[in-house]
Structure 1
Amino acid sequence: MSAPRSHYMREIFVSHLQDASYLPQTTSYVALEEQARKKLTPEAYGYVAGSASSENTNKSNMDAMQDWQIVPRMLAGVDLDNFDMSTTLFGRKFATPFVISPIGVQGQLHVDSDRATARAACKVGVPFTLSSATSTPLEVVAQEGGFAKAREEAEGCDGEVSGAEPWFQLYWPSDDDITRSLLDRAKKSGYKVLVVTLDTWSLGWRPRDLDIAYNPFLKGNGLANLFCDPVFVEKYCEGKSPLRKDTTEDDVFQAALACISLLSPGNSRSWADLPLLRELWGASADGHKIVLKGIQSVTDAARAIEAGADGIWVSNHGGRQVDGALGSLSALAPIARYVRSSGCALTRGGERPTLIFDSGVRTGADAMKALCLGADAVGIGRPYAYALALGGEQGVECLLKAMLADLELNTALAGCRGVKEMGSHLLVRRGEESKL
């Protein structure tokens, strides 16, 4: 078993003792966001921080976290040196219950963009989900992220998977030829899980971007995957790559418009389209899994599993799409009860569907609440974006180590010996006394 994640706290104190000039990257989310705001351009900060319309859905995400409170148990025989941080995803044991949620246009946050985030995730042993709106081609991220080396080191090892593997998030193109090309490239590059984002077939109404007329995609930012895709270049750029040396601003603009029309076409796919993705991505038996991201209702969760999804990702896109929606954590518990019920169908791999959660996770306590309410893993989003802006790869690595330490300490001090002991018995709603 690896060293306790909470040793990161000791590392901070000892490092400062040995070198008085050493201070860690802030471990406070509030301070992290404020420091990133000061460093980033107003456009980049607003892009990350902003949400849809009144931003009430983002507020609901925060409120939903505060609606649940932890009831610590004492004298539980907890030993930090033997704390079990592992979780099971898609029938495999992962070292931690964290996942990097997809965030696009990371090039506006740091020059190393997605590559830095991928390397940090790989070092810490957390699955990294690459956005379709990446600033770096998917092949480059897979190669430079260190995942191949991690796979080699893991070969022949039984039991726990480190978690150092790449996942690919898909904004589902309206052109099936483009979809096929992207998925073929992702499979060849070693991406294991396809995360299909369902709620962004049109951008939400985002005043922070609108009021300064900021759309990074119109200048080609965040479109690296399509700009270097051979099918896209042939069909939509007359065979001339917008990345070539003699390209003009108008070439990039026209290519960007084509990309936007493909990835955000203004019309939604339907449940009848899902078999095509299963066909293109491959069978579960081959190790290729499909997760549907953006699920907020039990009905949609049931339909997703019936359609062959290997996992459900409960998320409202950090409040960036539908204004006035319920907090994501409020949707988690009923979906988790269904997924764990006898009436829920197994995946095509014969496993219980994997349940991932994001939207509103800022601290170890937030992650703990989601795990107690039934999530198998928790996605980290805005916190790592701000850490990337402040410190690149090292910033993201420090953020992940801090959040894992926070989760481990919070859970252990509440009386759990590992992630698997978490459950709703540890929570009460604000003002509730029945379980005390």
Structure 2
Amino acid sequence: MAAGPGRVRQNQVYRAGVLGRRPAVPTDFAELERRARKASSRTAWAYVAGGAGLGRTMRNNREAFDRWAIVPRMLRGAADRDLSRDLLGTRLPAPILLAPVGAGQLMARDSDLHTARAAAATGVPYVYTNQGGTPMEDAAAAMGDSPRWFQLYWSTDEGLVDSLIQRAEAIGAGALVITLDTTVLGWRPQDLNLGSLPFARGLGIAQYTSDPRFRSLAAERVLENPAEVTLAAVRSLLTMVRNHPGGFLDNLRSGRPRASVETFLDIYSNPRLSWDHIATVRERTSLPVVLKGILHPDDARRAFELGMDAIVVSNHGGRQVDSSIAALDALIQVREAVGPEKTVLMDSGIRSGADVFTALALGADAVLLGRPYMYGLAVAGQRGVEEVIANVIAELDLTMALTGVTDLAGITRDLVQPVPGRAV
């Protein structure tokens, strides 16, 4: 009998169960989320699990999936299945990448290294976050030859933009993923209620403090009058010092950590980012370029007209605009606008292998997985990330088997249909 990743994963779990062992992370998302919340600090949970405004976009993302039902087909002999896909020169074992998630240190120390090693162990590409706690060079070293992409936040300093791109090329990134939807931070009440922004405490800025251009900018900065001295301010300063490159005492005396934080807050993203900026990127890198954050068909068309290689239909997991269109709904419109040949990825709201199947059926070439693997990280570190990846791929594989599909090309629109009574 065929043993695809679904049966392999099931057998691992059930055989371990005979010995009294349970999976490191729950196999259903609801329990995974509950366990991750229990394992996380208030500030970590607010940042990773929180959304914009009233949380309507997060709900929209999930409700969009609930409006579609999978239609299994019988007797198609789908005993052997191929989940692989070639994507911009990267061979994927399954149509899944790990999304960039900033400030993962809130969930686990060395989160980027844990995630990088888990991605390498499973063969799934990891999109390094521009807002990581580990320099991209260190994460790349942890992955060996495994595929990695790099996310770019377009700074107000063009020299820093070029430096980050050059470093991404040097570490063998398979693509440059430019995030468009975070030129300013959305209104995030969970963080605001705690007065918590990780970057202001030196978390999630290691790509900057390891960058020669950024360090020169920070070195030029003249600090204003000392901040008000409170217990919280002292704790924040110590966090900055611990997370800054160099020795603790030297950092404490020099003021470099605080200068780096202030410099980062001034330049990390460009509120004036426009299509004119994007038009320059083809001259600045030979890497495939992916634009992340597309929701409108006209923006999708414009991206490809400017020579971009792919887009990610995404609303940033509901973290930027409250009451935004669901990413899955936008995916349908975008695919219809750009046609079948363009490379279109999707994230925001993916929670399971069945969700991946639905997204592929509605036009995605692959999806990016975000919160689920971060929750696995919170619960069980690297092993937790690996198990979340394995569980999602296993369910996708079993859904294909039970729907009579032998490869990703067979996941077509006729295998999903609107749920009666729920508007699409």
| Same fold by TM-score greater than 0.5 | yes
1:311 aligned onto 2:310: yes
**Offset at residue 23 of structure 1 (A):** 4.3
Q: Distance in 2 between matches of 1:140 and 1:301?
A: 34
Q: Report the 3-state secondary structure (helix = DSSP H, G, I; strand = E; otherwise coil) of the residue aligned with 1:99.
A: strand
Relative to structure 1, the CA distance from residue 233 to residue 410 in structure 2 (aligned partners, 3 Å threshold; closer, same or farther) is same
Q: Which residue of 2 aligns with 1:211?
A: 193
| Correspondence 1:342-357 to 2 at 5 A | 352-357=341-346
User: Which of 163, 167, 174 matches 1:181?
Assistant: 163
Residue 117 of structure 2: aligned partner = 119
Identify if the C-alpha distance between structure 1 residues 206 and 432 changes in structure 2 by more than 3 Å, giving closer, same or farther: closer
Write the letter of the residue equivalent to 1:46: A
How do 1:35-434 residues align onto structure 2 when only pairs under 5 Å count?
A: 35-79=35-79, 82-90=80-88, 93-146=91-144, 148=145, 164-238=146-220, 243-245=245-247, 246-248=250-252, 250-265=255-270, 267-282=271-286, 288-340=287-339, 352-431=341-420
Please state whether the residue corresponding to 1:88 is helix, strand or coil: strand
Whole-angstrom CA distance in 2 between matches of 1:315 and 1:135: 23
Q: Kindly state the Cα deviation for residue 91 of structure 1 after the two structures are TM-superposed.
A: 5.5
Letter in 1 for 2:105: G
What percentage of residue pairs aligned between the two structures are identical? 37
Contact 2:84 2:93 in 1 (8 A): yes
Question: Helix, strand or coil for the counterpart of 2:20?
Answer: coil
Cα deviation, residue 205, structure 1 = 0.2
Partner SS state of residue 210, structure 1: helix
Rounded Cα–Cα distance in structure 2 between residues aligned with 1:235 and 1:49: 33
Name the CA distance, whole Å, in 1 between partners of 2:421 and 2:57.
24
Aligned to 1:12: 13
**Distance in 2 of aligned mates of 1:78 and 1:419:** 12
TM superposition shift of 1:316: 0.3
Matched to 2:64, the amino acid is A
Deviation at 1:324, TM superposition (A): 1.0
Per the alignment, in what secondary structure is the counterpart of residue 211 of structure 1?
helix
3-state SS in 1 of match to 2:164: helix
What residue is the counterpart of 2:232 in the other structure? none
Q: Say whether the 8 Å CA contact 2:218–2:259 is kept in structure 1.
A: no
TM-score scaled by structure 1?
A: 0.87
Give the secondary-structure state (helix, strand or coil) at the position aligned to 1:32: helix
Do 2:29 and 2:352's aligned partners in 1 also have CA atoms closer than 8 Å?
Answer: yes
Task: State the one-letter code of the partner of 1:210.
Answer: L
Are the counterparts in 2 of residues 112 and 392 from structure 1 also a CA contact under 8 Å? no
Say if 1:101 and 1:128, in contact at 8 Å, map to a contact too: yes
Report what 2:231 is aligned to: none
2:367 aligns to what SS in structure 1?
strand
How far apart are residue 28 of structure 1 and its match?
Answer: 1.1
1:411 shift after superposition: 2.1
- 1:159 is aligned to none
CA root-mean-square deviation:
1.9
Which deviates more from structure 2 when the two are superposed, residues 198-207 or residues 69-78? 69-78
The aligned amino acid for 1:257 is: E
Whole-angstrom CA distance in 2 between matches of 1:335 and 1:384: 27
Which residue number in structure 2 is paired with residue 155 of structure 1? none
Aligned partners of 1:412 and 1:418 also within 8 Å? no
Residue in 2 that maps onto 1:158? none
CA change 1:192–1:74 in 2 (3 A) is: same
Which letter does structure 2 place at the counterpart of 1:279?
E
Is the alpha carbon distance of 1:3 and 1:194 closer, same or farther for their aligned partners in structure 2, counting shifts above 3 Å?
farther
Alpha-carbon displacement from aligned partner over 1:394-428 (angstroms, at most 9, x marks no partner): 11001100110011111221221222100110111
Amino acid at match of 2:398: L
TM-score (norm 2): 0.90
Tell me, which stretches of 5 or more residues in structure 1 are unaligned? 149-163, 283-287, 342-351
Return the offset for 1:253: 2.5
- Alignment partner, residue 25 of structure 1: 25
Q: Distance in 1 between matches of 2:280 and 2:267?
A: 17
The residue that corresponds to 1:160 in the other structure is none
Structure 2, gaps ≥5 residues long = 223-240
Q: Once the two structures are superposed, what CA deviation does each residue of 1:43-92 show, in whole Å capped at 9, x if it has no partner?
A: 1011111010111011100110101111111112210xx21101231255
User: In 2 relative to 1, CA 337–181 (structure 1 residues): closer, same or farther, beyond 3 Å?
Assistant: same
Query: Structure 2 CA distance, aligned partners of 1:69 and 1:432?
Result: 12
The separation in 2 between residues aligned to 1:210 and 1:124, in whole angstroms, is 36
Report SS of the residue matched to 1:412: helix
**What code does the residue aligned with 1:260 have?**
L
CA contact (8 A) 1:169 1:195 kept: yes
